[in-house]
């Protein structure tokens, strides 16, 4: 039960942060991505803040075996950059640039009742399903 409450509180704080920072607003995100036009650099500060928090959190996590809630900590060990990673990153970036949403902000906007976010969420789930089918096919061969 305490894990569910911690997850709920963490999700609410994360969602509130996305709303306050403007990352749930696709127009603001597209303004950030429009470096050749009327570029809005404000989201760079949001990302910078997230990177600083992440670096600190990973530094603490690397020295621990259990999370603060008692879960095993599993830090990815792979550092190899391959074609799949690059292609996936390109697809993610193209989708982000077209929609103005990435998964977290898209779900926050969906919760706020935005029609664009509903279309994004359905497309995201469809993309996940296609990926799963491809992975199952690869595993069989």
Q: Tell which residue, 16, 12, 39, has the closest CA to residue 28.
A: 39
Low-confidence ranges of the chain (pLDDT < 50): none
* Tokens read off for 66: 């259990």
Tell me the pLDDT tens digit for each residue of 16-26. 988 888 888 88
Cα-to-chain-centroid distance, residue 51: 13
Q: Is the pTM of this model over 0.85?
A: no
Q: What are the tokens at 40?
A: 């809005």
pLDDT at position 130, please?
A: 94
pLDDT in tens, 43-54: 889 889 989 999
What residue numbers bound the domain in which 60 lies?
Answer: 2-140
Q: What is the pLDDT of residue 34?
A: 87
- What is the torsional sign of CA 92, 98, 104, 107? negative
> Is 20 buried (19+), middle (13-18) or exposed (0-12) by CB count in 10 A?
exposed
Given this model, what pLDDT does residue 87 score? 93
Number of domains in the chain: 1
Q: How deeply is 58 buried, as exposed, middle or buried, from its count of CB atoms within 10 A (0-12, 13-18, 19+)?
A: exposed
pLDDT at 29: 86
Tell me what pLDDT residue 137 has: 93
């Amino acid at each position: 039960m305490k894990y569910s409450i911690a997850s709920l509180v963490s999700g609410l704080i994360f969602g509130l942060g996305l709303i306050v920072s403007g990352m749930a607003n696709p127009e603001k995100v597209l303004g950030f991505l429009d470096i050749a036009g009327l570029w809005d650099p404000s989201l760079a500060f949001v990302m910078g803040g997230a990177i600083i928090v992440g670096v600190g959190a990973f530094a603490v996590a690397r020295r621990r075996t259990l999370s603060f809630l008692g879960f095993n900590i599993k830090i990815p060990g792979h550092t190899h950059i391959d074609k799949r990673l690059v292609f996936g990153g390109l697809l993610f970036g193209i989708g982000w640039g077209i929609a103005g949403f990435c998964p977290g902000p898209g779900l926050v906007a969906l919760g706020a009742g935005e029609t664009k976010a509903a279309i994004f969420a359905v497309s995201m789930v469809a993309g996940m399903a296609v990926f799963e089918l491809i992975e199952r096919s690869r595993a069989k061969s």
